[in-house]
A = this chain, B = another copy of it.
C-alpha cells in the first residue's frame, strides 16, 4: 500500500471519528434541552474484528431519540474467494481496507422522522467512497422532505451539477421494498463506487454529505419534537418501523454483506428499531 493511500486512510478514519463525535454531541444537546435532569447519553462500546480492525458502537436510548446508533469502523483483511469477484479491484489482490460511519435514528415521536446516514471509504487495488442519507417519516411532511433534500442537494451541487439527480434516483431505487411495492421513506441520496480520479474532491464530498446531515437532521428533530401526537400516529409509526425491519433483513446489502462476512452482529443490527409492529 502506498504512503499516499495510507495517509488517505488515516485522514478518512479521523474524519469519520470526528463526525461521530460532532453528531453524538448535538443529539445529546437535544436530549438535554428536553429533559430536566439526567438526560440520556450515548454509551460507547468498542469491538474487535477477528480478521483485522474493529469499531465502536455508540447507542443512546433517550426521550427524543427512542433509539439512535452511531457506529464507526475501520477494518482490514482479505476478501474470501466468494467476494473477490464481486468487489472492484479485489480480483487482482484480495486485500482490503474499509472505514466508515453508519447512523440510524428511531425517534420516539411519530412526528419526528427516522433517518439513516452512512459514508465509507473502501480500498482494494482501487479506492472509492460510498454512502448516502435518507429520511423515513411516518407521514411525509412536505416542509421536512424539501429541507432534507435541499441540504443534500447543496452538498451534491458542490461536487458537480449532475450528482444530486443521479444520487437521488439511486436512493429511490435502492430503498424500495419490492414485495410491498412501496418506498422505505421519502428518499435522499445514495451513491457507491465514487472514484472521480481526484481523491481530494471525493473526500470533500464525503465530508459535505456528513456535514449536511449533521446540520439538517437536528433541525428537523427540533422542528417536530414538541408537537403532540396521537395513539393512532404512534401505532402507524410502529407499523412503518416493521417495514424498516423488512427492508433491512430482506434487502439491505450492507446487512447481508455484514452477516455473511462475520461482521459484528450487534453493530450490524443496531439499525433495527426499539419497537415495531405488524398488523
Interface of A toward B, CB cutoff 8 Å: 67, 179-180, 238, 242, 245-246, 249-250, 259, 265, 269, 272-279
A274-B278, A276-B276 known; 15 new pairs, CB 8 Å cut-off, are: A67-B278, A179-B265, A238-B275, A245-B249, A245-B276, A246-B269, A249-B249, A249-B250, A269-B278, A273-B278, A274-B277, A275-B275, A275-B277, A276-B277, A276-B278
A181 to B, closest residue via Cβ: B265
Q: A179-B265, A249-B249, A265-B180 are in contact. Are A276 and B275 (CB under 8 A)?
A: yes
Task: Give the CA-CA distance A250 to B278 in the complex, in Å.
Answer: 17
Give this chain's copy count. 2
Task: Give the CA-CA distance A277 to B233 in the complex, in Å.
Answer: 18
A258 to B, closest residue via Cβ: B179
Contacts of A238 in B (CB 8 A): 275
Task: Give the CA-CA distance A278 to B67 in the complex, in Å.
Answer: 9
A278 to B, closest residue via Cβ: B272
Q: How far is the CB of A129 from chain B (nearest CB, A)?
A: 28
Contacts of A273 in B (CB 8 A): 278
Closest CB pairs A-B (n = 7): A249-B249, A272-B278, A179-B259, A275-B277, A179-B265, A249-B250, A276-B276
Q: Please name 26 pairs of A and B residues whose Cβ atoms are closer than 8 Å in the assembled complex, sorted by A.
A: A67-B278, A179-B259, A179-B265, A180-B265, A238-B275, A242-B272, A245-B245, A245-B249, A245-B276, A246-B249, A246-B269, A249-B249, A249-B250, A250-B259, A269-B278, A272-B278, A273-B278, A274-B277, A274-B278, A274-B279, A275-B275, A275-B276, A275-B277, A276-B276, A276-B277, A276-B278
Contacts of A179 in B (CB 8 A): 259, 265
Task: Give the CA-CA distance A199 to B5 in the complex, in Å.
Answer: 66
A251 to B, closest residue via Cβ: B249
Contacts of A67 in B (CB 8 A): 278
